[in-house]
Structure 1
Amino acid sequence: MVKLPKDKRREQLLDAAMAIVRENGADALSLVTLAAKAGVSRPVAYDHFSTRAGLLVALFQRLEEQYVQALRNALDTAPHELGTTADLMSGAYFNCLADLGPEAPAISAALKGSEEMALQQRAMIGEYVAIMCQALQPFANMDIKTLRLTCIGLLGAAEAIAREQQEGRIPEAAAIDAFSSLIAKGIGR
């Protein structure tokens, strides 16, 4: 076993964990299978994640960070107009889901009912809402509390549209168009 700095070892372990989920599904992921796949001792895996739920939450956080970065990058390039901002937000949301592949829903499903996952999802929604509010506030004809609630509703709609798309009932382009339209209509003056 090669000695790596703790942050590099953690990334290596997360890469190995993602490979296990990709190859065998989330049910096959444990700290023991992770240690074997990564070529480290069990105590190394336990030192980084403590529990299977901790490992799954860390994987989920990694995927969420990728989405948040994609959304921020898209918004940084946006011209200052509602339609373009809505298109970029929607595109970032659905492109990220496509880029993440089936691992994200598998990880999320493995954590259903977990208090750690519930906390992570609340934090994630709070971060998304803050990003959306900041990007959409210049176009909104509402106070910040109403805008926040509107953004929460828009995210709920995006999740419902994503389920339709992931289950093959609508193409990705239709999902992007629908969410973009909802943003523009929900925020428009």
Structure 2
Amino acid sequence: MATASTRLSRQARREQLLDTALRIVRAQGADGLTLLTLAEAAGVSRPIVYDHFGTRPGLLLALYQRLDERHRTASAQALREAEPTLGETARVLSTAYFACSTDMPEWNAVSAALKGNPEMEVIEREMFDSFTDLMAAALLPHSDLTTEALRLRCVGALGAAEAIAAELNRGRATVADAVAALTDLIVGGIDTGTGRSAIDGSRP
């Protein structure tokens, strides 16, 4: 008789394992997640878990990417549903940025467990670039800046967002304060009057 493990496709099994891993981190923190604890919690043999992730860092990296996918999907959905104004777009982007800390506490736990991992550094850079592109695309209809100039301003705003997030994590600001500050910075980076930049970044 086929077992539950053999009935699942490889992709479905991977999704099940990542869902289980997320529950472990949520309940026990990243320290509680190992290939062994995952196998036990998922009710599968250790070779199955090793086959999917290889090592504990491989598992953590896969889980981190899963969290990022969920974050990007939620952010894109929120932007589609937002009012098509600069202020509302900036607010939605700001809320989405800080949602990593407020709505997904597992994000910080997994990130801390991967600190110093060279593969993690590459993934974080890719995630930063992806969110920058999402941000620039959302703001483009509200700006006469060139695509390159607008993207550079998004990079600057996200650099400031990292500093604001540090204050938030230290308890020196509330989420509402953080969202308001980043929203103002984003809006301030785009001229809402003539739509032309104060420096040489505007479209002709």
| Counterpart for residue 2 of structure 1 | 4
Flag structure 2 segments of 5+ consecutive residues without an equivalent: 196-204
Tell whether the 8 Å contact from 1:70 to 1:96 is kept in structure 2 after alignment.
no
CA apart distance, 1:181: 0.7
Q: Within 5 Å, give how 1:78-93 maps onto structure 2.
A: 78-93=82-97
> Quick check: which has more Rg, 1 or 2?
2
2:47 to 29, 43, 50: 43
Query: Distance between the aligned counterparts of 1:31 and 1:37, measured in 2?
Result: 10
Q: Normalized against structure 2, the TM-score is what?
A: 0.85
| Counterpart for residue 98 of structure 1 | 102
Q: Which amino acid aligns with 2:57?
A: A
Q: Which amino acid aligns with 1:73?
A: Q
Q: Within 5 Å, give how 1:1-189 maps onto structure 2.
A: 2-3=4-5, 4-101=8-105, 103-188=106-191, 189=195
Q: Which amino acid aligns with 2:68?
A: E
* Root-mean-square deviation (Å): 1.6
Q: Which amino acid aligns with 2:148?
A: K
Q: Which amino acid aligns with 1:91?
A: T
Q: Which amino acid aligns with 1:133?
A: A
CA apart distance, 1:96: 4.4
CA apart distance, 1:84: 1.2
Query: Distance between the aligned counterparts of 2:79 and 2:179, measured in 1?
Result: 16
Percent identity over paired residues: 50
Flag structure 1 segments of 5+ consecutive residues without an equivalent: none
> Structure 1 residues 49, 58: closer, same or farther in 2, change over 3 A?
same
CA apart distance, 1:126: 1.3
Tell whether the 8 Å contact from 2:100 to 2:107 is kept in structure 1 after alignment.
no
Work out the number of aligned pairs and report it: 188
Query: Distance between the aligned counterparts of 1:98 and 1:61, measured in 2?
Result: 18
